[in-house]
């Protein structure tokens, strides 16, 4: 399976508009490509304009429609203007994927205020800002799919990641509450919790750490970004209309 291939899932998102944060690389890129291949118009959001342009071109080359917005997920005014620009561009907003995230790993005795604040601001405040901004257009059209990318680190913790684990655990609680608030407007809100996924981040850990990680995973391999994208694609589809407030764990059985 390649990141430009059509998913094995048969989902038709024609006429819908999706916004994906952190779309320039990794899981976010795979999600943007999947949604675009399913027929959605995709607003690709990140800070790296050059990488975003490449994602937009990949979606268009596959026959889809996409546009890019450079936005820092930590800044409320920028987020609000970005969401408004997306709605103005395509007339609606149906799918929000809060994927943007960072890590600043270190053990708690050595963790500085900046390392804590940067992760919480990006990974937790960012989804709050985008969710708040997306709520109005979705409530007006009485339809929406919100999907937050959490992590198994938010379920079981991970040494050296107290900031990251706290942000991802908080995102699960946020998901459950917003799901209750918006259910009456036919807006579902769910989370996906990936395990160890092939990425630049995991590659930087080195072969020794990666092999040790595989030993902890019952299926004995790392996941692929496209496998997380397929989970998002399902939750964004009409088939998931009775699923809200849940966290779909995609980790090869690591937390079972």
Strand partners, 67: 43
What confidence tens digit (pLDDT) does each residue in 194-204 have?
Answer: 999 998 777 77
How much is the average pLDDT of 60-78?
95
Residue 202 placed within a domain: yes
How much is the average pLDDT of 158-169?
95
How much is the average pLDDT of 33-59?
96
- pLDDT score recorded for residue 109: 97
How far CA 20 is from CA of 144, 154, 218, 237, in Å, comes to: 14, 21, 30, 15
- pLDDT score recorded for residue 158: 87
Residue 45 placed within a domain: yes
Residue 12 placed within a domain: no
What confidence tens digit (pLDDT) does each residue in 209-248 have?
Answer: 788 889 999 999 999 999 999 999 999 999 999 999 999 9
Give the structural domain span for 132: 17-247
**CATH number for 164:** 3.40.50.720
Residue 207 placed within a domain: yes
What confidence tens digit (pLDDT) does each residue in 169-186 have?
Answer: 999 999 999 999 999 999
Check whether 2 has a pLDDT greater than 50. Answer: no
Rounded Cα distance between 7 and 103, Å, is: 29
Residue 57 placed within a domain: yes
Rounded Cα distance between 104 and 119, Å, is: 7
Phi, psi of 126 (to 5 degrees): -55, -55
Structural contact between residues 199 and 27, judged by C-beta atoms closer than 8 angstroms: yes
H/E stretch holding 110 reads none
164 is catalytic: yes
CA nearest to 178, candidates 130, 211, 220: 130
H/E stretch holding 20 reads strand 17-21
Residue 253 placed within a domain: no
Candidates 69, 90, 130, 164; catalytic one: 164
Greatest CA span in the chain, whole angstroms? 51
Domain count within the chain? 1
- pLDDT score recorded for residue 1: 35
pTM score of the predicted model: 0.94
CA nearest to 165, candidates 98, 241, 108: 108
Residue 64 placed within a domain: yes
Residue 76 placed within a domain: yes
């Amino acid at each position: 399976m390649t990141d430009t291939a059509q998913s094995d899932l048969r989902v038709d998102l024609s006429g819908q508009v999706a916004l994906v944060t952190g779309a320039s690389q990794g899981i976010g890129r795979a999600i943007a490509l999947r949604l675009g291949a399913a027929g959605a118009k995709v607003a690709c959001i990140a800070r790296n304009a050059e990488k975003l342009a490449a994602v937009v071109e990949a979606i268009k080359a596959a026959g889809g429609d996409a546009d890019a917005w450079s936005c820092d997920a930590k800044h409320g005014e920028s987020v609000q203007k970005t969401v408004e620009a997306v709605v103005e561009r395509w007339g609606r907003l149906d799918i929000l994927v809060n994927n943007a995230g960072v890590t600043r790993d270190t053990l708690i005795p050595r963790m500085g205020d900046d390392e804590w604040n940067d992760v919480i601001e990006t990974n937790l405040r960012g989804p709050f800002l985008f969710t708040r901004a997306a709520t109005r257009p979705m409530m007006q059209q009485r339809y929406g799919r919100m999907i937050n990318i959490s992590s198994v680190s938010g379920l079981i913790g991970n040494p050296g990641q107290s900031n990251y684990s706290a942000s991802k655990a908080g995102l699960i609680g946020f998901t459950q509450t917003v799901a209750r608030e918006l259910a009456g407007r036919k807006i579902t809100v769910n989370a996906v919790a990936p395990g160890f996924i092939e990425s630049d981040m995991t590659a930087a850990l080195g072969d020794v750490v990666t092999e040790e990680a595989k030993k902890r995973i019952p299926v004995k391999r790392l996941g692929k970004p496209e496998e997380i994208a397929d989970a998002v694609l399902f939750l964004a589809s009409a088939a998931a209309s009775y699923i809200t407030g849940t966290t779909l764990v995609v980790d090869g059985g690591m937390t079972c």
